[in-house]
Chains A and B, each alone.
Chain A
Amino acid sequence: MSRRIDTDVVVLGAGPAGLAAACAAMEAGARVVLVEREERVGGILKQCVHDGFGLVRYRSKLSGPEYALRDADRFAALGGAVMLEAFVTKAERRDGGFSLSCVDKGGVVELSSKALVLATGCRERTDRQVFIHGDRPAGILTAGLAQYMINVQGLLPGRRALILGSGDIGLIMARRMTLEGMEVVGAHEAKPEPSGLSRNVRQCLEDFSIPLELSSTVTSVRGGRRVEGVTTARVDEAMRPIPGTERDVECDTLVLSVGLIPENELARSLGVPLDPATKGPKVDQSMHTLVDGVFACGNAVHVNDLADYVSESGETAGRAAAAYASPGARPERRLVPVEAGPGFLYAVPQLVDLGSAAAEASGGATGAGSAGSAGSTGGADERAAFYFRSRATMPGGAVVRMATADGTELYKRRYAVLRPPEMERFELSPHALSEALAGMRGDGARLVVGMERLEPK
């Protein structure tokens, strides 16, 4: 017979988002089962041996494992239960809750829960998705795979690498490969500016005199069994290769750092609507998706550039999932959309739940919400965090405004500079939200975030 486990909250994924969600839900009094596919908790942070994690959350510069261990310890101290090397094969709504089929080395497990937190992270785009042509030899790998090979398996993927893309993992790997004795001949970015953080361009490329070629891409790969070289080409504004600019570069390794995509196969199977801009579920300020009882957090919702904010959304989702799973009446959801203006690549949350905002403002009618621990911002005065990225670099900065449809301003801030690679965050108090929205009724109710571009001085 397969095993059955009944719980309040199931958290899928034990990376930084899932660990934070599981801890927050337990601290809020819920019974939690954390499900993880790998042998250890920590998610992708296990392979991030570089530092720079935790500046926001812990005010210190931690390596990936150190950062992950903080919440792993917190989870262990709470006596949390985790299923390791466990894989969800099916998820469905049943009896007002959720039924999940899982397999692990002990067999099949049927999990049922009142709430579900999706903390499934993201995956890397591959060479096929950026349409590199030519042969398919060994030696083409994503930056994350190169990172796993070098940092976890202790393997050297090649001798001479070219990096396509300038995402943060690619930049980090340029440094790691150089330190481990590989020659990195350059990073090629099709966009006219780097995709990764400026500090990573500095400390990962410039520190080691690795050239960064902007508006340049790889068009084809050469080599039968192992990569022997690639063809690079300059690209125009529409990122089309410019004929005549092709260059053959000898290398045995092509590392791709061309973007991340939220993993949402389970969300999709549960009918959770996704935002085409983020490719993650649409959520409200509690990280509650449009399917009641399904919460989502971390890079499954949108790709963050800081683990700290991944954890923050996990805390929010875990706390809200515990409240949802707690006995008693759930406040009715009254969702109004948050419309992001054309200057935004995206804004999260995409919706605000007036029901829960009102409940928060009136002193925490969410049941379990008062059990928040030190270090979390849980409790009655929980503030709603908004995350956004600008569509284009605004060297002169911009003014970002959030208002109701009828013009009542909730938030305004002048940003000195906005760049797509750098996610921005602001927060609103539940009072501000509920007061401004008090008058909102009917179909026209919505929030609008706008961006006014400023010219450089």
Chain B
Amino acid sequence: MLVIPRKDTNAPRDRAEPRLRDAAAMIARRSRTGGRGIALSERGGSIVIEGQAPSYQEKVEIGWAAAKLGFKGVVNDLSVEGAPEETLSPPLLADSALEGAYYDVVIVGGGVIGSAVARELTRLDLSVALLEKESDVAAHTSSRNDGMVHDGFAAKPGSKKAAYNVRGNRLWEPLCAELGVEFKRPGSLILFGSALSAAAYPVMAERARRNGVDGWEFWSRARVAAEEPNVAGDQHGAFFLPSAGVLSPYKATVALAESAIMNGARVFLDTCVLGMELESGRIARVRTNRGACRAGVVVNAAGNWSDVVAGMAGDRFFSLHQRRGTEAILDADTGRHLRHIMGMPRLVQIKSKTKGGGLVPTVEGNVLVGPTAAEAPGREDYSTRAWELRELEKHVRLNTRLAMGQAITYFAGVRPCTYEEDFVVERSERVPNLVHAAGIQSPGLASAPAIAEDVARMVAEIASGFRAVRPRDGWKARRSAAPEPRRLGPEARNALILGNPAYGRIVCRCEEVSEGEIVDAVRSVLPVSSMDAVKRRTRAGMGRCHGGFCTPRVMEIVARETGSPLWAVTKKGPGSELCVGPTKGARV
């Protein structure tokens, strides 16, 4: 039997909706098993695909194909052997911090989107709570990317991605100035490796024009050689996009969250949303491991779990698949060899759902290589594979001064992708007090400020239905960022140290991070206590020794500042303690 509509839709086969019949035919063609055992139905305008898929890749391909049929969304519930559906594993923490509380807005997820939305909402006199299940903001996708603020060229014309990207690109620079976060605009070079690829320039220029990208140029071979001296091989010129920028994605996320807190928002870490209670179709209460709170409006910014969170509100009209990307970080000393973001075009874009990866000069002076793109199950599977690193070699070869031997570490991130491969940024059609900012994959970082503006506007519209919404008095755009002594001149640094000697005690020798900066991170308005959180804020442990020297020193400071036993300092929250106890204790 081929694909048929589900019986419970009460639609006899011959009277099935024509689009479902198209879908069935399409799946029958695509599927290696002819679609046997796969059932289709329509729910709230979305196509629901159920049954068994022989592989994750095939599940994703069926989803992609279904996305082309014009449904509102694709709910792909195919099960794949060996890749069971994942469930949230809530934090070990359990208390009643939220029990009985009320917030005008509850934001689910403390990535760059949730944090940007929180800050944007504090412009209004609404009470805002951001719930994050990890021990820090930016714990997942928002810290596991290359920090590129894309120009907007790569997005599909007409997509939400394209519009948000171009707008977000313009917003980031002034936003970073307000937040005290470094932003650079090195521009992006798409190299033409052949005369044939150079011939694509007019097509590329047209795409850039349609997307509204801020500037593009053709660079001749000579110009490329002059402006990017270490470029390898015989390039036939390049497509240059001057608006492409870079920032530190986790520093930006932390800064957004801190700015939100400074303006009155509450951020609850180690707080996982477990369910939602609806009353008359509206979300009334949000249940967490720290009690249930009432919410006026709920914002779903739950990253790789945003389809699950939508489901808690009964509005799962889309579903996510995961695309893992692996990147290598080259030594801080490599940045001087690379002036621009650089990559090769993918002329054949059949399977490519993302920019092809390349070389990114970070604000910190390292070079990031990657990312790869592989459809793989695992919403939080950050394990890396040997073949992924081999794949990165091709990017490194674009620059004569770079080699994989300069890699100090590598990491993986997971992009939360809808099958439409576009963002979901909208008010729920079914739940009147729910706003989705979901499926925010690449270029999500670049788009975040623009998405936040729109989401905040949607929230304000909803909120004005139950209370008056006015601007907040005394809202502060500027975040007073903690000092970074290594960036100061000698006299300013001297004065800082005279005021607080802890800024003169270097704890992390690779990245030149002082004790004072670690204390600042632990005592900030968003206090953190894990090594990873401290690392994200200060870069302590991020350098070439990879924490070999500074780990004990950072542990001592964190333990002293938080009152934790030294051994119980964690890598990334409860359950990841670095040690098991003191020596000379009870022998096992």
Pick from A85, A134, A149, A158: contact of B384, CB below 8 A.
A134
Determine if A268 and B333 form an interchain contact, defined as CB atoms under 8 angstroms apart: yes
* Given A103-B497, A153-B566, CB of A89 within 8 Å of CB of B512: yes
Docked CA distance A134–B506 (Å): 32
Task: Bits for A125-164, please: 1 = Cβ < 8 Å to B, else 0.
Answer: 0111101011111110110110011101111111100000
Cβ contacts under 8 Å, B493 to chain A: 103, 107-108
B363 at interface, CB cutoff 8 A = no
Cβ contacts under 8 Å, A393 to chain B: none
Least Cβ distance of B574 to chain A in Å? 8
Interface positions of A from 159 to 187, Cβ below 8 Å from B: 159, 180-183
* Given A104-B504, A133-B383, CB of A159 within 8 Å of CB of B497: no
Determine if B545 and A126 form an interchain contact, defined as CB atoms under 8 angstroms apart: yes
A75 at interface, CB cutoff 8 A = no
Pick from B491, B501, B549: contact of A1, CB below 8 A.
B491
A419 at interface, CB cutoff 8 A = no
A37 at interface, CB cutoff 8 A = yes
B32 at interface, CB cutoff 8 A = no
Pick from A2, A110, A142, A158: contact of B548, CB below 8 A.
A142
A226 at interface, CB cutoff 8 A = yes
A124 at interface, CB cutoff 8 A = yes
* Given A137-B576, A155-B566, A158-B580, CB of A124 within 8 Å of CB of B545: yes
Docked CA distance A252–B547 (Å): 19
Determine if A85 and B505 form an interchain contact, defined as CB atoms under 8 angstroms apart: yes
Least Cβ distance of B86 to chain A in Å? 12
* Given A1-B491, A108-B494, CB of A131 within 8 Å of CB of B509: no
Pick from A135, A148, A220: contact of B382, CB below 8 A.
A135
Closest to A226 in B: B576
Task: Bits for B548-561, please: 1 = Cβ < 8 Å to A, else 0.
Answer: 11011001100000
Task: Bits for A99-134, please: 1 = Cβ < 8 Å to B, else 0.
Answer: 001011111101000000000000110111101011
Pick from B407, B506, B580: contact of A156, CB below 8 A.
B580
* Given A126-B548, A144-B548, CB of A159 within 8 Å of CB of B588: yes
Cβ contacts under 8 Å, B502 to chain A: 105
Pick from B333, B514, B548, B583: contact of A145, CB below 8 A.
B548
B582 at interface, CB cutoff 8 A = yes
Determine if A2 and B491 form an interchain contact, defined as CB atoms under 8 angstroms apart: yes
Number of residues of chain B lying within 8 A (CB) of chain A: 58
B186 at interface, CB cutoff 8 A = no
Docked CA distance A155–B584 (Å): 9
Bin chain A's interface residue count.
35 or more
Total contacts A to B, CB within 8 angstroms?
Answer: 144
Determine if B506 and A87 form an interchain contact, defined as CB atoms under 8 angstroms apart: yes
- Where chain B touches its partner, the secondary structure class is mixed
* Given A1-B494, A89-B486, CB of A150 within 8 Å of CB of B583: yes
Pick from A2, A85, A87, A128: contact of B407, CB below 8 A.
A128
Cβ contacts under 8 Å, A107 to chain B: 493-494, 497-498, 504
Least Cβ distance of A6 to chain B in Å? 17
Least Cβ distance of A161 to chain B in Å? 11
Task: Bits for B495-527, please: 1 = Cβ < 8 Å to A, else 0.
Answer: 001100110111001001010000000000000
Docked CA distance A107–B506 (Å): 11
Cβ contacts under 8 Å, A2 to chain B: 490-491, 494
Determine if A155 and B567 form an interchain contact, defined as CB atoms under 8 angstroms apart: yes
Determine if B490 and A108 form an interchain contact, defined as CB atoms under 8 angstroms apart: yes
Determine if A123 and B494 form an interchain contact, defined as CB atoms under 8 angstroms apart: no
B409 at interface, CB cutoff 8 A = yes
Cβ contacts under 8 Å, A268 to chain B: 333
Determine if B383 and A105 form an interchain contact, defined as CB atoms under 8 angstroms apart: no
Pick from A101, A105, A225: contact of B501, CB below 8 A.
A105
Closest to A155 in B: B579
Cβ contacts under 8 Å, B512 to chain A: 87, 89
B174 at interface, CB cutoff 8 A = no
Docked CA distance A226–B552 (Å): 18
B303 at interface, CB cutoff 8 A = no
Closest to A153 in B: B552
Docked CA distance A104–B574 (Å): 34
Determine if A103 and B566 form an interchain contact, defined as CB atoms under 8 angstroms apart: no
Cβ contacts under 8 Å, A1 to chain B: 491, 494
B485 at interface, CB cutoff 8 A = yes
Cβ contacts under 8 Å, A150 to chain B: 583
Task: Bits for B376-394, please: 1 = Cβ < 8 Å to A, else 0.
Answer: 0000001111100100000
Docked CA distance A407–B584 (Å): 62
Q: Which residues of A contact B (CB under 8 A)?
A: 1-2, 37, 85, 87, 89, 101, 103-108, 110, 123-124, 126-129, 131, 133-139, 141-142, 144-145, 148-150, 152-159, 180-183, 220, 224-226, 252, 265, 268
16 further A-B contacts with Cβ under 8 Å, apart from A138-B572, A224-B575, are A1-B491, A87-B509, A103-B493, A103-B504, A108-B490, A123-B544, A123-B549, A127-B546, A128-B407, A133-B383, A153-B556, A155-B583, A180-B584, A181-B587, A225-B574, A225-B576
The 27 sampled A-B contact pairs (Cβ below 8 Å) are A1-B491, A101-B490, A103-B497, A103-B514, A106-B501, A108-B490, A108-B494, A123-B548, A126-B548, A128-B407, A129-B407, A129-B408, A133-B386, A139-B578, A144-B548, A148-B552, A153-B555, A153-B556, A155-B566, A156-B582, A156-B583, A157-B578, A157-B579, A181-B583, A220-B383, A225-B573, A265-B333
Q: Which residues of B contact A (CB under 8 A)?
A: 333, 382-386, 389, 407-411, 485-486, 490-491, 493-494, 497-498, 501-502, 504-506, 509, 512, 514, 544-549, 551-552, 555-556, 566-567, 570-585, 587-588
- Chain A to chain B: the 6 pairs with minimum beta-carbon distance, closest first: A87-B506, A138-B571, A225-B575, A105-B501, A225-B576, A128-B409
